[in-house]
Amino acid sequence: MMQRLSKTLGFAYQMRHPHSFTALTPPAIGFSSRLVKSESYNFKASSSVTDVSTPEVPVESSIVKGDTWSIHKFGGTCVGTSQRIQNVANIVMGDSSERKFVVVSAMSKVTDMMYDLIEKAQSRDDSYLLALDAVFEKHKLTALDLLDGEELATFLSTLTLDINNLKAMLRAIYIAGHGTESFSAFVAGHGELWSAQILSSVLRKGGVDCTWMDTRDVLIVTPAGSNQVDPDYEESEQRLDNWLSKNPSKVVVATGFIASTPQNIPTTLKRDGSDFSAAIMGALFRARQVTIWTDVDGVYSADPRKVSEAVILNTLSYQEAWEMSYFGANVLHPRTIIPVMQYDIPIVIRNIFNLSAPGTKICREPILENEEKQTLETYVKGFATIDNLALVNVEGTGMAGVPGTASAIFGAVKDVGANVIMISQAYFFTLASSEHSVCFAVPEKEVKAVAKALEARFRQALNAGRLSQIAVIPNCSILAAVGQKMASTPGVSATLFNALAKAKINVRAIAQGCSEYNITVVVKREDCVRALRAVHSRFYLSKTSIAVGIIGPGLIGATLLNQLRDQAAVLKEKSKIDLRVMGIIGSKKMLLSDTGIDLFAWKELLKEKGEKADLNKFAHHVHGNNFIPNTVLVDCTSSTEVADHYHDWLHTGIHVITPNKKANSGPLDKYLKLRALQKQSFTHYFYEATVGAGLPIMHTLRDLLQTGDKIIRIEGIFSGTLSYIFNNFVDTRAFSEVVMEAKAAGYTEPDPRDDLAGTDVARKVIILARECGLDLELSDIPVQSLVPDPLKETASVDDFMQQLPSFDSDIATKRQAAEDAGEVLRYVGVVDVNNQKGAVELKRYKKQHPFAQLSGSDNIIAFTTERYNKQPLIVRGPGAGAQVTAGGVFSDILRLASNLGAPSY
């Protein structure tokens, strides 16, 4: 059984905003349905876990209110300088709504300056006078910048009067060494009074019919706990009607943040209260829309500082916005949502510094444009995290079925004033008994006190063995996935947990609220960002993101990079696969990137910006990036040293894909160890291109084996190079000339002697034989070499190629002898499964034989099996060359993506 205090929103808020409300509750819960446009939201669940009295319902009365009004709220940064205030005025003038109500905060830093004045005065620090001068100067200079004539004179005289009053009040605080809360509220609220007056003067200067409102005359709130207030909607509405009847202007600039108590004593809506002011006024006006202007483009799908791929959400439902902010996302405070949602008034969050961004609309239920758009993203809107938590696990047999256990646990937690963020409860059964555990998350800094309180409270139960432990798991974080439609959509949590598993994130605890607007997991703190990126990329970025490291940008590697470059956009768009090449390494240099290498310029970048090659650093870099959960290293070398790393890479969860035959045809014990590791892990190792290049040889063989067929024999032409050579070694052509052509065409191994000596074919025979379960070593395969003996020890490839023509006659003689008998020479490999052996030989075939019918670099591979007995299953086609080989490697990468969850296409 799992549960979460999902609606005791004050808990999380208190932790993240220590100066603010302690027990935030939805004040609008009690709004009567008679004024609610839609009753479909059920907040009864919320109210049932809160204990705050129900506020009164606003009375529908005045005709001047209604959806002709549009509400704007501009925060401190928006009105931080005279230029910005002018900009705000321009935005207000640009809004074509019939009537506008503009809520402003104090100019940025002013509220802090005002609180500082009080601090200084209280502590009898004389510098409060200088600090007050600074406040005066700031506003005077702003007014001088923006206003002139009578508007300026009026403002400056008000400012001077206010400053003098403040001076007297601060002096009183100084003498008393103490100021009451309402003194503080009165002093602090001046920032808003001045910014509202300046803005309304600027608007009037621009020809707008505008008045300013001191919201303390209208907005009445009742204190509800040390950091919480409840709006008195009825009283406020009456006062608003009264105010509007005396101030009929079409534009009103009002002070945010400040209000009055029912006794007309100045108070505030507490820190960050201007958003709340705007929302309350939106509700009182039944406004068309409330626009909150800020300095970001809207609400992100995840914290963009942690997830560089985070996107701005176009829409969020009220509930989604609420849940996101509970879990630490920088959305609106939940209390801001409550007043407006009663009237289905949308809140739009917009960036004042980027007017082209449409922002995020928080509204009743975002309408999806069409069915097609209902992908998983529409079910999971965003992700948020809370760090610095600890899990407390209370466990024991004595708790099962004992009423009051939970109450005793949380009573003890409450006694130390700790803040429970999430609870997960479970029963589990051992052979001996049934155990019960209650596990919950609290802020790390509170866990010591919690553990101590629990130990004291349950000492007797612990001594008696009824409780087995009270365990603290430190350094935890919460990751929450939020989305309204998660409730009705199967597979969302499976997808989430799948993404976490793929990224090898260990989940310590899980909870899902009954509302199913969120799924919450607890992970180790150090895993949290990686977990966030893994789930975000799974739902948002693309369905499957893979960090790719290319080892060996030679012929095949370079061709693969170019294929990736050309196909990347299509894969992302159509198959939701995001392949990011995070590193390229050759034998001397490597290029690393944190976000993905520009594949249009990789060659130049490697040349110009490449650093000294270091394979361990390379692997660590590609795998260590935190925002792509899956890593694949693609070995396009023919190096044994590189192949020797596969085991370690697979062991650390790095997938490996390669056309390099060295690992699978190397020492048997190493090979068996590698395959055993592969089979017991979820990490993939694919090597289709090791045999027949891009031809589906390994794939076909594996399908036959996995579906229960028995392989009897595999034989064929496995070498593209040797196929090409014998297909073209006709008439009077010289053998060495044809070898040269094969090399130039990219069919040969980096050292063509590996082809001519039959080693390459022998390796392929070994790979196929081992796949069929034969325990053979390379040395078990008899090989007929075509490398002339004197050239076997030749040092370089170039020397070898130069000297080869002097040996043309030997092989020409063999070819002529075959031709004279109406036959051709073909270099074939055989895997004889029944007799558990393999062979590589140069054989003669009649000209009618299928092996004699090939052209170019064709491979032909015949599988004789129990099912394909009379007629073998034959795969034929070009079996060497840059494009087809790179294509084979690429298809392995896509197979990996599909294994990692990419949708079928």
Ligand X SMILES: NC(=O)C1=CN([C@@H]2O[C@H](COP(=O)(O)OP(=O)(O)OC[C@H]3O[C@@H](n4cnc5c(N)ncnc54)[C@H](OP(=O)(O)O)[C@@H]3O)[C@@H](O)[C@H]2O)C=CC1
Ligand Y SMILES: N[C@@H](CC=O)C(=O)O
> Which of Na ion, ligand Y, ligand X, none does residue 394 bind to, with CB < 5 to 8 Å depending on kind?
none
Q: Which of 229, 341, 632, 689 contacts ligand X by CB under 6 A?
A: 689
552 touches ligand X by CB under 6 A = yes
State the minimum distance, in angstroms, from the CB of residue 382 to ligand Y. 48
Q: Are 694 and 746 in contact (CB under 8 A)?
A: no
Q: CB-wise, 173 or 875, nearer to ligand X?
A: 875
CA distances from 894 to 499, 599, 884 (A): 17, 18, 15
739 touches ligand X by CB under 6 A = no
Q: CB-wise, 505 or 693, nearer to ligand Y?
A: 693
Q: CB-wise, 184 or 563, nearer to ligand X?
A: 563
Give the binding range for ligand X (CB under 6 A) out of 63-71, 324-332, 444-452, 742-750: 742-750
Beta bridge partners of residue 481, listed in sequence order:
383, 519
774 touches ligand X by CB under 6 A = no
State the minimum distance, in angstroms, from the CB of residue 760 to ligand Y. 5
666 touches ligand X by CB under 6 A = no
Give the DSSP letter string of 288-341.
SEEEEEESSSS-BSS-TTT-TT--B-SEEEHHHHHHHHHTT-SS--HHHHHHHH
- Count Cβ atoms within 10 A of the Cβ of residue 522 and give its class: 0-12 exposed, 13-18 middle, 19 or more buried: buried
Beta bridge partners of residue 104, listed in sequence order:
74, 255
State the minimum distance, in angstroms, from the CB of residue 723 to ligand Y. 7
Q: CB-wise, 610 or 838, nearer to Na ion?
A: 838
Give the DSSP letter string of 23-72.
S---GGGG--GGG-S------HHHHHT--PPPPPPPPP--TT-STTEEEE
Residue showing tokens 């209604």: 66
Instruction: Give Cβ neighbours of residue 537 (< 8 Å, ≥ 6 apart).
Output: 309, 499, 545, 578, 627, 628, 629
Q: CB-wise, 614 or 737, nearer to ligand X?
A: 614
Q: CB-wise, 619 or 768, nearer to Na ion?
A: 768
State the minimum distance, in angstroms, from the CB of residue 859 to ligand X. 10
State the minimum distance, in angstroms, from the CB of residue 556 to ligand X. 3
Coil, strand or helix at 713: strand
Angle at 893 between CA 888 and CA 895, to 5 degrees: 90
Catalytic residue among 120, 764, 814, 870: 764
State the minimum distance, in angstroms, from the CB of residue 665 to Na ion. 14
Q: Residue 5, Cβ neighbours under 10 Å: how many? A: 20
Q: Measured between alpha carbons, how far is 201 from 157 in angstroms, rounded to an integer?
A: 14
Sign (positive/negative) of CA torsion 168, 172, 177, 179? negative
Binding site for ligand Y (CB under 6 A): 693, 719-721, 747-749, 755, 760, 879-880
Coil, strand or helix at 789: helix
* Binding footprint of Na ion, residue count (CB under 5 A): 4
Q: Are 147 and 155 in contact (CB under 8 A)?
A: yes
Helices (H), 746-857: 753-756, 759-771, 797-803, 808-820
> Which of ligand Y, ligand X, Na ion, none does residue 688 bind to, with CB < 5 to 8 Å depending on kind?
Na ion
Coil, strand or helix at 777: coil
| CB-based closest residue to Na ion | 692
Q: Which of 310, 522, 636, 767 contacts ligand X by CB under 6 A?
A: 636
| DSSP tag of 53 | P
Q: CB-wise, 457 or 661, nearer to ligand X?
A: 661
* Pairing of the two strands 289-294 and 229-231: unpaired
Q: Which helix (H) or strand (E) holds 111?
A: helix 110-122
Give the DSSP letter string of 172-203.
HHHHHT---HHHHHHHHTHHHHHHHHHHHHHH
Residue showing tokens 């298809």: 891
Q: Which of 189, 231, 298, 557 contacts ligand X by CB under 6 A?
A: 557
592 touches ligand X by CB under 6 A = no
Residue showing tokens 């051709």: 824
- Count Cβ atoms within 10 A of the Cβ of residue 600 and give its class: 0-12 exposed, 13-18 middle, 19 or more buried: exposed
> Which of ligand Y, Na ion, ligand X, none does residue 679 bind to, with CB < 5 to 8 Å depending on kind?
none
Torsion of CA 595, 599, 602, 605, to 10 degrees: -50
Q: Per this entry, what is the length of the chain?
A: 905
- According to CB under 6 A, which residues from 4 to 43 bind ligand X? none
Quick check: is 764 catalytic?
yes
Q: CB-wise, 15 or 693, nearer to ligand Y?
A: 693
Q: CB-wise, 139 or 763, nearer to ligand X?
A: 763
State the minimum distance, in angstroms, from the CB of residue 746 to ligand X. 5
State the minimum distance, in angstroms, from the CB of residue 861 to ligand Y. 12
Would you give the distance in Å from CA 360 to the centre of its chain? 19
| DSSP tag of 467 | S
Residue showing tokens 């997960």: 424
State the minimum distance, in angstroms, from the CB of residue 657 to Na ion. 12
State the minimum distance, in angstroms, from the CB of residue 689 to Na ion. 5
State the minimum distance, in angstroms, from the CB of residue 862 to ligand X. 20
The packing angle between helices 334-341 and 318-326, to 10°, is 170
> Which of Na ion, ligand Y, ligand X, none does residue 743 bind to, with CB < 5 to 8 Å depending on kind?
none
Q: CB-wise, 445 or 607, nearer to ligand X?
A: 607
696 touches ligand X by CB under 6 A = no
* Pairing of the two strands 858-865 and 711-717: antiparallel
Give the binding range for ligand X (CB under 6 A) out of 535-543, 638-646, 701-709, 731-739: 638-646
Site string for ligand X, 821-860 (x = CB under 6 A): ----------------------------------------
Q: CB-wise, 151 or 688, nearer to ligand Y?
A: 688
Site string for ligand X, 699-728 (x = CB under 6 A): ---------------------x--------
641 touches ligand X by CB under 6 A = yes
| CB-based closest residue to ligand Y | 721
Of 589, 578, 525, nearest in space to 554 by CA: 589
Site string for Na ion, 659-698 (x = CB under 5 A): -----------------------------x---x--x-x-
CA distances from 575 to 180, 543, 902 (A): 63, 8, 7
Q: CB-wise, 655 or 662, nearer to ligand X?
A: 662
Q: CB-wise, 135 or 714, nearer to ligand X?
A: 714
877 touches ligand X by CB under 6 A = no
* Binding footprint of ligand X, residue count (CB under 6 A): 30
Q: Are 191 and 256 in contact (CB under 8 A)?
A: no
> Which of ligand X, ligand Y, Na ion, none does residue 755 bind to, with CB < 5 to 8 Å depending on kind?
ligand Y
Give the binding range for ligand X (CB under 6 A) out of 106-114, 229-237, 656-664, 821-829: 656-664
* Pairing of the two strands 251-255 and 210-213: parallel
Site string for ligand X, 433-462 (x = CB under 6 A): ------------------------------
750 touches ligand X by CB under 6 A = yes
> Which of Na ion, ligand X, ligand Y, none does residue 716 bind to, with CB < 5 to 8 Å depending on kind?
none
> Which of Na ion, ligand X, ligand Y, none does residue 555 bind to, with CB < 5 to 8 Å depending on kind?
ligand X
Residue showing tokens 């600027």: 202
- Output phi, psi for 414, to 5 deg: -65, -40
Q: Measured between alpha carbons, how far is 103 from 293 in angstroms, rounded to an integer?
A: 10
79 touches Na ion by CB under 5 A = no
Catalytic residue annotation: 764
Site for ligand X, rule CB under 6 A: 551-557, 585-588, 636-639, 641-642, 659-661, 689, 693, 720, 746-747, 749-750, 880-881, 885
